[in-house]
Amino acid sequence: MKPLSARPTSREVMEDAPVIPVIVLNDVAHAVPLARALVAGGIRMLEVTLRTPVALACIEAIAKDVPDAVVGAGTVRSAADAQAAALAGARFAVSPGYTRAVGKACHDLELALLPGVATGSEIMMAQEDGYTALKFFPALQAGGTAMLKAWHGPFNDVRFCPTGGITAQNAREFLALPNVACVGGSWISPADALASGDWARVTRLAAEAAALPRG
């Protein structure tokens, strides 16, 4: 893996590996062993979604105890979310949509942001604010690979991370596109593996994801 600066850019976050795991944690005790298992498999950009009451504590634990991981916060919907994530030790943020308030907060915090977009207008607004590494969400429901192919003409300077409905089975189809830098998916950290502490399975899934080819 390439060395990273203390504050990676949005492009560095997206281009580090073919897959960014979308992680939902309900138990702080799972955070560190999960992160270590993912890093052991070659995946170090870890999106911990702010969907559970323990998410910030999980981000803090990973930031403190797994130095080889680059932990980020997902489901960032407000400036307050961005501030809390940064205080917990997050080094990047992922949002399900885009607002200028979230964009400004992340810029001021020097927190790399992957803003969520689903329309051409949202892409243009994010670009106006300096963002060209974007999350396409929800990818399957918003048009999938056909939409990304259509966007490649007018937005050929933008790179995307499709998230939402991406699986081990369809990831290759998305990664083959020239405007896709990586995909986001939850299959690398399945809930049943977390519940049973099957970290070897997580490492195997991460290694398979890290080996996926990109276009």
- The pLDDT tens digits of the residues spanning 198-215 come to 999 999 999 999 999 998
Model pLDDT for residues 27-36, shown as the tens digit of each residue: 999 999 999 9
CB 17 within 8 A of CB 161: no
* Residue 2 pLDDT exceeds 90: no
pLDDT in the model for residue 5: 75
Residue 104: active-site member: no
Flag whether 198 is in a domain: yes
Q: Look at residues 30, 98, 32, 19 and name the one whose alpha carbon lies nearest to residue 61.
A: 32
| Per-residue pLDDT, 145 | 98
CATH number, domain at 120? 3.20.20.70
Contact 46, 40 (CB under 8 A): no
The mean pLDDT value for 145-165 works out to 98
Residue 17 lies in a domain: yes
Catalytic residue among 15, 47, 64, 149: 47
- Within a domain: residue 33? yes
Active site residue 135: yes
Instruction: Assign 7 a pLDDT band (cuts: 50, 70, 90).
Output: confident
Bridge partner residues of 212 (DSSP): none
Per DSSP, the three-state class of 24 is coil
**Please, which residues have CB within 8 angstroms of residue 67's CB and are 6 or more apart in sequence?**
none
Q: Which of 1-10, 136-145, 152-161 has the lowest mean pLDDT?
A: 1-10
Q: Quote the pLDDT of residue 196.
A: 97
CB atoms inside a 10 Å sphere around CB 45: 26
User: Is the pTM higher than 0.95?
Assistant: yes
37-86 tens-digit pLDDT: 999 999 999 999 999 999 999 999 999 999 999 999 999 999 999 999 99
**Confidence at residue 215, expressed as pLDDT on a 0 to 100 scale:** 87
Query: Is 72 a domain residue?
Result: yes
**What is the pLDDT, as a whole number, of residue 120?**
97
| pLDDT of 3 strictly over 80 | no
Whether 3 is covered by a domain: the verdict is no
Tokens of 119: 């329309």
In a domain, 118, yes or no: yes
Residue 161's pLDDT is: 98
Reported confidence tier of residue 191, pLDDT bands at 50, 70, 90: very high
Q: Which domain holds residue 44?
A: 10-210
What does pLDDT average to over the chain? 97
The residue annotated as part of the active site, out of 110, 128, 135, 149, is: 135
Q: How confident is the model at residue 186 (pLDDT cuts 50, 70, 90)?
A: very high
Distances (CA, A) of 21 to 49, 70, 126: 10, 12, 23
Question: Residue 215 falls within a domain, yes or no?
Answer: no
95-118 residue pLDDT tens: 999 999 999 999 999 999 999 999
Q: Domains in the chain: how many in total?
A: 1
